[in-house]
């Protein structure tokens, strides 16, 4: 393929706020039309049974909002912690040439600290999941 | 012209859109994964390689009603499940269609019995009916094509664009008994005439012509020295409270006074020699319709015990006197008595003092009366029709009723089933969950109660045979054997050797067929899709052999009292040989898929354990018992039908976990093929049915040529053979465990009481023992490994 050199061949528009606006409007029209078609054409039957949650054909017991056990929360927190800290490492990795040895030392210290924390959680049983660990 | 006639233009425009929409719809139907009974096995087979329903654009069964637009009612619609069916239908996506598959769903079929709705069209609109019992997979495809044709005739565009006059989905009206449909099994117009046979059903018994026939007394057995010894010991120890019944047709039998029952049972379980460690069965007989009522109490409790040490059984009979009698519960001696006593309470109305949880188990909670009492109607057509109004009102109990939360905790209560891919049938688990851990598990059964016991009291001894295979629809002919053995025991009928070997061969073929389905579904349960596509190939080979020999697939109904319905056809040996040649190698292939699979091992090893002691106490049988390490197989320990002449091993495993159960079943398949090979190679010659035609249906050529045989044929086919007064119990090792039939005769053409000791009932009762403490995902693996089937649990 040959690169196009003549500037008059393609659209004379300069990229700018105007084209973005057009784009946004088109998107809005498209989304709205899709939603409208779905709402208008779809068969809607709002009967009691239809709106009831499906639970193997039985009327469910209790509410869906209940106190869930701590391990779920722990896993979420651990994920958050290690995920966010990954962001520091990525930031360092991009600039590691400029940061030099001192940066390397600092991030190493940081990673070692993370690993210590990880092993602590591991030994404390923070990753033990469900009934599988309680069996012999 | 179009401009002159705008209506025509619109019509043509809409017609074009209609065609387009209909075309899209008919080739992308989404059937729901919902099976009621036998029919579903054939429906599922229609998805496998040979029939390949995907060719017709309906390839994947959707597990949730939200994703489905086609409901195939495959099987018997029970009154207990009907509210669930209605809810699932309501929850399906719009527009939706309904196919009624099989005689039961069409009109109740052969199950004109109190627990069955006589046709789904009383509750739901039906587009297509597929006849058959069960319809073959090809019939499912035909039904689907018919539905596609029906969809072609719809005009959905008008409905979609909110115009008047469009049609889409099922719009047929629900049928009303007496107005738009007739529940009469003989068709409409016969309302004035009583259904044949009703006048001879209890409690009338008007002038039974069986009385005119003479038959010899029932078979009598000599008690062996060990039994004689036990009888003496019991009589010395308990005096008049225990009386030995003599003679008997099958086993040592005692009449025990209700007051000493628990002592006797306790003694037999813990101190007697030999010890009777297992409660084989517990049931009751309503004696109110006996033809010599003076000889009988109001009710009789019957206990069958089994000794592992001496491989023998003993029967205890306890007379009860009252309209609504009470007896003491034996749940403290055998924990397994729990469900058995609940069943007797539910169906017979006998109360058990000291039972921890005495409430209905089979029938819906709002049921009136006790169906197995002779005063309760047997046929659904004798009762008021079950309509949509009832299906909307009579809901299953709330899950909170079952789960008791301790310490004021509020566990998550989850219903798994009755409609669930993982429950392998209509069984409802109510799990209390703490996170993923199962802290409590309750089972609600009875959604598949076809009332076979009650049917046995009205069909003649021969007519009852078609119902047998349907008690465990994956084990086919293997089901027939225990019933036939019981009747043959009672009447002293000798079965020719050839018939015995053929019976063994077919039973083993069905064991393979059952285990292949189990293999596929179990692997599927723990996440391995592949075996599903392969094992059904060999299963089809087996069913082809079965069809060649018997003419049927799932339910051959080919065994007869005294032998078989016909001799082996030409070409059977070749077909069997071909199968024997390829099967071991194929099995090895499938085994390699699983046994070397780390995921499969991780999902099954150490999961769902049960100890040998628990398994024996709770009456667990079959591969589930052998996987706990006990080498106990009726085919070896108490041989029947000539199993003693075959060489095979009884595979066992240790650990009693899901993996052990897997190992045992796979090894059993290898042993089964050995037995089939021996049977096929050493097939004895001779008759296929006994030559004593007193009780049996004679060979056709004899019937046509010989007046004596013609008379027997006529009598035995019409009013049924007069089986002598008495009782007998016989039990066989069917694929799922020990299935026993207890038949009681009052000297008529049909049984006075038929009781099925089903392996599934006991095997499933221990589910909480295996599953509580495990994670919710493991429950599915455990269910798959136990290999139960619903009609056999609920009967």
Measured N-to-C along each axis, helices B658-681 and B497-525 cross at an angle, to the nearest 10 degrees, of 150
Look at the alpha carbons of B362, B103, B473, B466 in this order and tell me if their dihedral is positive or negative.
positive
Residue B273 pLDDT grade (very low, low, confident, very high; cuts 50, 70, 90) = confident
Cα B312–Cα B318–Cα B321 angle in degrees, nearest 5: 165
**Whether residue B53 has pLDDT greater than 80:** yes
Which residues, at least 6 apart from B544, have a Cβ–Cβ distance to it below 8 Å?
B575
CA separation for the pair B429, B771 (Å, rounded) = 11
Helix or strand holding residue B353 (H, E): strand B351-353
Task: Count other Cβ atoms within 10 Å, centred on residue A51.
Answer: 10
User: Is the bond preceding residue B385 a cis peptide, omega within 30 degrees?
Assistant: no
Strand partners, B130: B101
**Whether residue A6 has pLDDT greater than 60:** no
Tell me: the pLDDT tens digits for B606-643? 888 899 999 988 989 999 999 998 889 999 889 999 89
Q: Indicate yes or no: CB of B161 within 8 angstroms of CB of A45.
A: no
Q: Which residue of B has its CA nearest to A53?
A: B91
Q: Which residue of A has its CA nearest to B398?
A: A61
Strand partners, B728: B743
Look at the alpha carbons of B635, B641, B642, B648 in this order and tell me if their dihedral is positive or negative.
negative
Q: Indicate yes or no: CB of A56 within 8 angstroms of CB of B91.
A: no
Q: How many CB pairs under 8 A join A and B?
A: 82
* Chain A partners within 8 Å of B774 (Cβ): 131
Structure tokens at B9: 């233009």
Q: Indicate yes or no: CB of A130 within 8 angstroms of CB of B95.
A: no
Nearest CA to B582 out of B533, B542, B531, B523 is that of: B542
Question: Do B115 and B73 touch, CB atoms closer than 8 A?
Answer: no
Residue A28 exposed, middle or buried by CB count within 10 Å (0-12, 13-18, 19+): exposed
pLDDT at residue number B513 = 92
Q: Indicate yes or no: CB of A56 within 8 angstroms of CB of B417.
A: yes
Structure tokens at B239: 């005096």
Q: Indicate yes or no: CB of B91 within 8 angstroms of CB of A50.
A: yes
Name the pairing type of β-strands B312-320 and B252-256.
parallel
B91/chain A closest Cα distance in angstroms: 5
Tell me: the pLDDT tens digits for B133-145? 889 999 999 999 9
**Whether residue B206 has pLDDT greater than 70:** no
A89/chain B closest Cα distance in angstroms: 34
Tell me: the pLDDT tens digits for B666-684? 999 999 999 999 999 999 9
**Whether residue B748 has pLDDT greater than 90:** no
**Whether residue B2 has pLDDT greater than 50:** no
pLDDT at residue number A7 = 56
CA separation for the pair B263, B269 (Å, rounded) = 10
Per-residue DSSP letters for B593-656?
HHHT-HHHHHHHTTSS---HHHHHHTT--THHHHTTT----HHHHS--TTGGGS-------SS-
Q: Indicate yes or no: CB of B398 within 8 angstroms of CB of A61.
A: yes
Q: What is the mean pLDDT of residues B722-745?
A: 91
Per-residue DSSP letters for A40-108?
HHS-----HHHHSPPSTTS---S-S--PPPHHHHHHHHHHHHHHHHHHHHHHHHHTHHHHHHHHHHHHH
* Chain A partners within 8 Å of B95 (Cβ): 43
**Whether residue B715 has pLDDT greater than 80:** yes
**Whether residue B3 has pLDDT greater than 50:** no
The least confident of A99-108, B399-408, B477-486, B673-682 is B399-408
pLDDT at residue number B576 = 92
Q: Is A56 within 8 Å of chain B by CB?
A: yes
Helix or strand holding residue B141 (H, E): helix B137-152
pLDDT at residue number A131 = 64
CA atoms within 13 A on the CB side of B213: 22
**Whether residue B376 has pLDDT greater than 90:** no
Q: Indicate yes or no: CB of B774 within 8 angstroms of CB of A131.
A: yes
* Chain B partners within 8 Å of A134 (Cβ): 773
Q: What is the mean pLDDT of residues B699-719?
A: 89
Q: Which of B20, B81, B412 has the highest number of chain A CBs within 10 A, making it the mutation to test binding with A?
A: B412
Which residues, at least 6 apart from B484, have a Cβ–Cβ distance to it below 8 Å?
B465, B559, B560, B561
Q: Indicate yes or no: CB of A58 within 8 angstroms of CB of B775.
A: no
Q: What is the mean pLDDT of residues B407-427?
A: 83
Structure tokens at B538: 């060999």
pLDDT at residue number B204 = 56
Which residues, at least 6 apart from B423, have a Cβ–Cβ distance to it below 8 Å?
A56, B416, B417, B429, B783
Q: Is A49 within 8 Å of chain B by CB?
A: yes
| Mean pLDDT over each residue of chain B, to the nearest integer | 87
Q: What is the mean pLDDT of residues B333-347?
A: 91
pLDDT at residue number B408 = 64
* Chain A partners within 8 Å of B428 (Cβ): 56, 58
B436/chain A closest Cα distance in angstroms: 6
**Whether residue B199 has pLDDT greater than 50:** no
Question: Do B132 and B399 touch, CB atoms closer than 8 A?
Answer: no
Residue A13 pLDDT grade (very low, low, confident, very high; cuts 50, 70, 90) = low
CA separation for the pair B296, B695 (Å, rounded) = 26
Length of chain A: 136
Per cent of chain B over pLDDT 90 is 32
Residue B515 pLDDT grade (very low, low, confident, very high; cuts 50, 70, 90) = very high
The least confident of B105-114, B400-409, B534-543, B778-787 is B400-409
* Chain A partners within 8 Å of B423 (Cβ): 56
Q: Indicate yes or no: CB of A54 within 8 angstroms of CB of B91.
A: yes
**Whether residue B49 has pLDDT greater than 60:** yes
B117/chain A closest Cα distance in angstroms: 18
CA quadruple B418, B421, B422, B428: dihedral, nearest 10: 0
Q: Which of A50, A58, A132, A133 has the highest number of chain B CBs within 10 A, making it the mutation to test binding with B?
A: A58
* Chain A partners within 8 Å of B396 (Cβ): 58
The least confident of B298-302, B316-320, B404-408 is B404-408
Task: List the single residue in B90, B396, B606 with the smallest CB-CB distance to A47.
Answer: B90
Q: Indicate yes or no: CB of A49 within 8 angstroms of CB of B87.
A: yes
A122/chain B closest Cα distance in angstroms: 20
Q: Which residue of B has its CA nearest to A136?
A: B606
Q: Which of B167, B171, B435 has the highest number of chain A CBs within 10 A, making it the mutation to test binding with A?
A: B435
Per-residue DSSP letters for B540-603?
HHHHHHHHHHHS-SS----EETTEESSPPPTTHHHHHHHHHHHHHHHHHHHHHHHHT-HHHHHH
Q: Indicate yes or no: CB of B90 within 8 angstroms of CB of A49.
A: yes
**Whether residue A77 has pLDDT greater than 60:** yes
DSSP code of B462?
T
**Whether residue B423 has pLDDT greater than 90:** no
* Chain B partners within 8 Å of A41 (Cβ): 160-161
Structure tokens at B345: 């309470």
Q: Which residue of B has its CA nearest to A129?
A: B436
B660/chain A closest Cα distance in angstroms: 17
CA separation for the pair B529, B597 (Å, rounded) = 13
Task: Count other Cβ atoms within 10 Å, centred on residue B624.
Answer: 27
A48/chain B closest Cα distance in angstroms: 9
* Chain A partners within 8 Å of B64 (Cβ): 54
pLDDT at residue number B144 = 92
Tell me: the pLDDT tens digits for B159-197? 888 877 788 888 888 888 878 887 777 777 777 777 665
Which residues, at least 6 apart from B159, have a Cβ–Cβ distance to it below 8 Å?
A43, B95, B166, B167, B168
CA separation for the pair B467, B456 (Å, rounded) = 9
CA separation for the pair B595, B597 (Å, rounded) = 5
**Whether residue B655 has pLDDT greater than 70:** yes
CA separation for the pair B49, B52 (Å, rounded) = 5
* Chain A partners within 8 Å of B159 (Cβ): 43
Nearest CA to B329 out of B262, B269, B278 is that of: B262
């Amino acid at each position: 393929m040959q690169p196009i050199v003549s500037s008059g061949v393609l659209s004379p528009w300069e990229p700018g706020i105007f084209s973005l606006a057009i784009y946004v409007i088109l998107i809005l029209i498209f989304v709205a039309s899709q939603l409208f078609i779905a709402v208008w054409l779809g068969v809607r039957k709002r009967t009691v049974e239809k709106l009831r949650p499906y639970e193997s054909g039985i009327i469910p017991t209790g509410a869906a909002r209940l106190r869930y056990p701590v391990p779920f929360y722990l896993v979420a927190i651990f994920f958050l912690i290690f995920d966010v800290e990954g962001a520091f490492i990525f930031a360092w990795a991009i600039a590691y040439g400029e940061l030099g040895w001192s940066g390397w030392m600092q991030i190493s210290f940081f990673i070692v600290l993370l690993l210590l924390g990880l092993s602590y959680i591991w030994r404390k049983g923070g990753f033990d999941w469900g009934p599988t660990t309680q069996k012999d | 012209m179009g401009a002159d006639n705008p209506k025509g233009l619109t019509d043509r425009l809409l017609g074009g859109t209609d065609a387009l929409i209909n075309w899209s719809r008919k080739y992308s139907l989404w059937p729901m994964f919902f099976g009621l009974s036998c029919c579903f096995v054939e429906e599922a087979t229609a998805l496998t390689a040979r029939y390949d329903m995907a060719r017709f654009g309906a390839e994947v069964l959707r597990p949730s009603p939200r994703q489905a637009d086609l409901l195939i009612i495959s099987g018997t619609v029970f009154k207990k499940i009907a509210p669930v069916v209605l809810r699932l239908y309501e929850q399906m996506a719009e527009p939706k269609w309904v196919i009624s598959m099989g005689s039961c769903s069409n009109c109740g079929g052969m199950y004109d019995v109190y627990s069955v709705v006589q046709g789904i069209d009383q509750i739901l609109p039906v587009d297509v009916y597929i006849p058959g019992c069960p319809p073959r997979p090809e019939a499912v495809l035909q039904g689907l094509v018919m539905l596609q044709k029906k969809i072609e005739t719809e005009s959905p565009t008008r409905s979609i664009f909110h115009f008047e006059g469009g049609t889409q989905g099922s719009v047929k009206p629900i049928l009303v008994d007496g107005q738009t449909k007739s529940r009469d099994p003989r068709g409409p117009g016969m309302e004035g005439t009583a259904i044949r046979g009703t006048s001879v059903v209890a409690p009338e018994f008007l002038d039974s012509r069986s009385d005119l026939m003479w038959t010899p007394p029932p078979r009598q057995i000599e008690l062996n020295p060990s039994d004689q010894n036990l009888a003496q010991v019991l009589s010395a120890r308990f005096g008049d409270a225990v009386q030995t019944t003599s003679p008997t047709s099958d086993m040592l039998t005692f009449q025990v006074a209700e007051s000493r029952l628990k002592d006797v049972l306790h003694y037999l379980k813990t101190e007697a020699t030999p010890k009777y460690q297992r409660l084989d069965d517990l049931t009751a007989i309503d004696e109110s319709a006996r033809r010599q009522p003076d000889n009988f109490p109001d009710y009789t409790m019957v206990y069958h015990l089994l000794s592992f040490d001496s491989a023998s059984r003993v029967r205890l009979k306890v007379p009860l006197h009252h309209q609504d009698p009470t007896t003491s519960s034996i749940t403290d001696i055998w924990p397994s008595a729990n469900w058995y006593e609940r069943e007797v309470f539910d169906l017979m109305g006998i109360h058990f003092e000291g039972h921890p949880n005495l409430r209905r188990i089979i029938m819906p909670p709002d049921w009136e009366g006790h169906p197995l009492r002779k005063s309760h109607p047997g046929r659904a057509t004798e009762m008021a029709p079950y309509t949509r109004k009832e299906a909307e009102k009579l809901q299953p109990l709330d899950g909170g009723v079952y789960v008791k939360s301790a310490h004021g905790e509020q566990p998550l209560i989850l219903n798994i089933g009755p409609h669930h891919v993982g429950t392998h049938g209509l069984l409802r688990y109510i799990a209390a969950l703490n996170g993923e851990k199962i802290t409590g598990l309750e089972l609600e059964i009875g959604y598949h109660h076809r009332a076979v016991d009650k049917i046995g009291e009205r069909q003649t001894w021969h007519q009852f045979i078609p119902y047998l295979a349907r008690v465990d629809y994956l084990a086919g002919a293997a089901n027939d054997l225990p019933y036939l053995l019981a009747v043959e025991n009672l009447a002293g009928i000798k079965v020719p050797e050839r018939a015995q070997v053929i019976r063994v061969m077919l039973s083993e073929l069905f064991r393979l067929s059952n285990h292949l389905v189990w293999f596929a579904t179990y692997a599927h349960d723990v996440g391995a899709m592949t075996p599903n596509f392969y094992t059904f190939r060999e299963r089809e080979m087996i069913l082809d052999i079965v069809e060649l020999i018997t003419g049927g697939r799932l339910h051959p109904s080919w065994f007869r009292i005294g032998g078989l319905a016909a001799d082996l056809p030409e070409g059977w040996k070749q077909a069997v040989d071909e199968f024997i040649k390829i099967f071991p190698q194929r099995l090895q292939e499938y085994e390699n898929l699983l046994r070397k699979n780390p995921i499969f091992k991780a999902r099954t090893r150490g999961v769902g354990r049960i100890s040998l002691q628990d398994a024996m106490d709770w009456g667990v049988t079959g591969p589930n018992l052998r996987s706990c390490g006990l080498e106990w197989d009726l085919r070896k320990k108490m041989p029947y039908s000539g199993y003693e002449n075959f060489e095979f091993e009884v595979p066992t495993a240790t650990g009693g976990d899901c993996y052990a159960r897997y190992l045992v079943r796979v090894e059993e398949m290898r042993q089964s093929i050995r037995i089939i090979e021996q049977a096929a190679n050493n097939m004895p010659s001779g008759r296929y049915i006994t030559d004593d035609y007193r009780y049996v249906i004679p060979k056709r050529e004899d019937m046509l040529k010989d007046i004596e045989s013609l008379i027997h044929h006529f009598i035995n086919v019409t009013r049924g053979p007069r089986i002598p007064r008495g009782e007998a119990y016989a039990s066989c090792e069917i694929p799922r465990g020990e299935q026993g039939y207890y038949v009681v005769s009052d000297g008529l053409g049909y049984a006075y009481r038929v009781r099925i000791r089903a392996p599934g009932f006991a095997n499933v009762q221990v589910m909480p023992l295996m599953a509580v403490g495990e994670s919710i995902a493991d429950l599915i693996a455990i269910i798959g490994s136990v290999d139960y089937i619903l009609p056999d649990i609920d009967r």
